[in-house]
Amino acid sequence: MRKGEKFVWNEEREKSFEELKQRLVSAPVLTLPSGSGRFQIYSDASKKGLGCVLMQHRKVIAYA
């Protein structure tokens, strides 16, 4: 959105919001790592906490 642009709640935004709510209350399914392919580590930290996810082939291997 740009400054001064009016926010309009439409069907697309409602669908995205409902998907987000569902994902927040659903536990992720962990998968076993394969012998091939690279791993990705995603992390985020602040003064109050730390979170990270280990992924391979766009699937969650572990999280903390």
Q: Looking at the domain assignment, is residue 22 inside a domain?
A: no
Q: Looking at the domain assignment, is residue 62 inside a domain?
A: yes
How many separate domains does the chain show?
1
Q: Looking at the domain assignment, is residue 24 inside a domain?
A: no
Q: Looking at the domain assignment, is residue 16 inside a domain?
A: no
Spatial CB neighbours of 3, under 8 Å, sequence gap ≥ 6: none
The pTM of this model reads 0.56
Compute the C-alpha angle 37/20/6, nearest 5°. Answer: 120
Higher pLDDT, residue 35 or 39: 39
DSSP calls for 11-31: HHHHHHHHHHHHHHHSPPPP-
Q: Looking at the domain assignment, is residue 12 inside a domain?
A: no
Q: Given pLDDT bands bounded at 50, 70 and 90, which one contains residue 55?
A: very high
Number of continuous H segments (helices) and E segments (strands) in the chain: 1, 3
Residues spanned by the domain of 50:
29-64
pLDDT (mean) for 55-62: 93
Q: Looking at the domain assignment, is residue 60 inside a domain?
A: yes
Q: Given pLDDT bands bounded at 50, 70 and 90, which one contains residue 34?
A: very high
Q: What is the pLDDT of residue 48?
A: 93
Q: Looking at the domain assignment, is residue 49 inside a domain?
A: yes
pLDDT (mean) for 12-20: 95
Q: Looking at the domain assignment, is residue 39 inside a domain?
A: yes
* Angstrom distance (rounded) from CA 45 to CA 31: 24
